[in-house]
Structure formats: C-alpha cells, structure tokens
Amino acid sequence: MFEEIKKVLVDAINVDEEEIKPEAKLNDDLGIDSLAAVELALELENEFDIRIEDEELAKLETVQDVMDIIEAKKK
C-alpha cells in the first residue's frame, strides 16, 4: 500500500521519493498545496477505485492519513 501511494505521489505530484515517509506532512514536508491535493485525490481515486470526498480530503495531513483512508475505503 505504501509503495503504491509513494508511486502516485512521485508520478502525479512530482514529490521527491526520498521525502515520502508515513509521518511526512503533505503540506509542510512534501509541499502539496490545496490544488495539488485535489490532483492527488483524483489520482488516488483512479489508482485504488475509491471516492475521496472534499471534507475527507481536507482532513488528510500526513502520508499515513492517506494510507488509512484508502484502507478504510477498500473494505
């Protein structure tokens, strides 16, 4: 799961792979602003065949949060 999310971050948002860790903050550590977050959500939705609502997206702060929401939605 982590490797798949890392691939989406690198490919879609152009994040440095070395910076991606579960505890990394999307905004502060990875430089993902609100526009990039929307793009990331779209890529994750396509990759994992899920739907991330706007209010859920607003709550995502770390890479771990992204993993948690995807795991919850895949069940």
DSSP-derived letter for residue 56 is H
Give the percent of the chain with pLDDT over 90. Answer: 92
What is residue 55's three-state secondary structure? helix
Mean pLDDT score, 34-61:
96
Give the percent of the chain with pLDDT over 70. Answer: 100
The C-alpha angle 45, 75, 21, rounded to 5 degrees, equals 60
Active site annotation includes 11: no
Topology annotation, domain 2-74: 1.10.1200
pLDDT tens sequence across 5-27: 999 999 988 999 999 999 999 99
Out of 33, 54, 65, 68, the active site residue is 33
Contact 58, 52 (CB under 8 A): no
